[in-house]
């Protein structure tokens, strides 16, 4: 896969350029759509590096309490932050209910469809654009996957991009988070999946479910309020011919 090198943005977890993904004979453009975890831990040179990417819009998918607990270090950068909290409940409730990743994603797609459409409209409105949540795995993974699918990116490429997160999360971070959550939820079955994993079959299940119910990811977005011309613009923004 002809992918760009991941930008070095020190202090940002799971930061990458969603460029170089196959879309039939085309590929996704580099330097247009980025994804990551939160920006609260940016080091000083990380802030400089982020500014150097020329990002015009950040789409923050976190809930209010997450933002208060870990505010983004983007003061002084010339960009717009768009807040689109995606979970109707809380992140904590997912662990308390001990739901599977498949169920979490199903709920996100169905219960937060208006938010997903808002994210896609934000991607269309300004580029370069960065989409992020706390870890860049679930909310970011689902919304970016749906945007890519609606633009016509190949399913294998979307799944591979999603699955990369598991290799990009630091081992020390995973160990710390799992230990903390295990003390709170000692009997939880899905805890490690929810906190640290991005299995390819889960994303395939999500995408196939959207196709089965709506016909395509583009039709899912249209069914929830995205105009057809913005789907066309999404494709123009994200894809380049070879």
pLDDT score, position 4: 77
Give the residues across from 132 on adjacent strands.
Answer: 36, 60
Residues of the chain above pLDDT 90, percent: 86
Find, among 123, 114, 9, 3, the residue nearest to 56 by Cα: 123
Please determine, for residue 123, whether its predicted confidence score (pLDDT) is greater than 70.
yes
Task: Please tell me the predicted confidence (pLDDT) of residue 218.
Answer: 98
Q: pLDDT (tens digit, 9 = 90+) per residue, 12-34?
A: 999 999 999 999 999 999 999 99
Q: What is the pLDDT of residue 36?
A: 98
Cβ(119)–Cβ(61) under 8 Å?
A: yes
Q: What does the alpha-carbon distance between residue 96 and residue 221 come to, in Å, rounded to a whole number?
A: 30
pLDDT over 90 (residue 88): no
Query: What residue segments make up the domains of the chain, in order of their start?
Result: 16-241
Write the pLDDT tens digit of every residue in 94-111: 888 889 999 999 999 999
Q: Average pLDDT, whole number, for the chain?
A: 94
DSSP H or E run through 235? helix 228-238
CATH number of 16-241: 3.90.190.10
pLDDT (tens digit per residue) in 190-232: 999 999 999 999 999 999 999 999 999 999 999 999 999 999 9
Collapsing DSSP states into helix, strand and coil, what is residue 27? Answer: strand
Give me the phi and psi of 17, to 5 degrees please: -90, 130
- Residues near 118 by Cβ (< 8 Å), separated by ≥ 6? 82, 84
Question: Is a pLDDT exceeding 90 seen at residue 176?
Answer: yes
What's the mean pLDDT in 36-50? 96
pLDDT band at 242 (very low <50, low <70, confident <90, very high): low
Longest dimension (CA), the chain: 51
Query: Residues 138-164: what's their mean pLDDT?
Result: 98
Q: Give the range among 87-91, 144-148, 159-163, 177-181 with minimum mean pLDDT.
A: 87-91
The torsion defined by the Cα of 79, 113, 216 and 6, in degrees rounded to 10, comes to: 30
């Amino acid at each position: 896969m002809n992918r760009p090198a991941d930008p070095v943005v020190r202090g940002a977890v799971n930061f990458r350029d969603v460029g170089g993904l196959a879309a039939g004979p085309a590929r996704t453009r580099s330097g247009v759509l980025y994804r990551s975890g939160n920006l609260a831990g940016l080091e000083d040179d990380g802030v400089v590096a982020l500014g150097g990417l020329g990002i015009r819009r950040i789409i923050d998918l976190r809930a209010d309490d997450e933002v208060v607990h870990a505010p983004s270090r983007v003061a002084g950068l010339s960009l717009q932050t768009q807040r689109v909290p995606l979970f109707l409940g809380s992140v904590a409730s997912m662990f308390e209910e001990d739901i599977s990743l498949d169920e979490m994603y199903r709920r996100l797609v169905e219960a937060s469809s208006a938010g997903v459409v808002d994210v896609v409209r934000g991607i269309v409105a300004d580029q370069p654009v960065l989409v992020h949540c706390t870890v860049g795995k679930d909310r970011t993974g689902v919304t970016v996957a749906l945007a890519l699918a609606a633009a016509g990116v190949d399913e294998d490429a979307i799944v591979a991009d999603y699955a990369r997160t598991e290799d990009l999360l630091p081992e020390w971070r995973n160990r710390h988070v799992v230990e903390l959550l295990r003390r709170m939820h000692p009997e939880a079955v899905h805890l490690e999946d929810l906190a640290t994993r991005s299995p390819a079959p889960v994303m395939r299940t999500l995408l196939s479910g959207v196709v089965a119910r709506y016909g395509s990811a583009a039709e899912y977005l249209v069914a929830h309020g995205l105009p057809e011309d913005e789907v066309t613009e999404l494709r123009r923004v994200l894809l380049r011919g070879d």
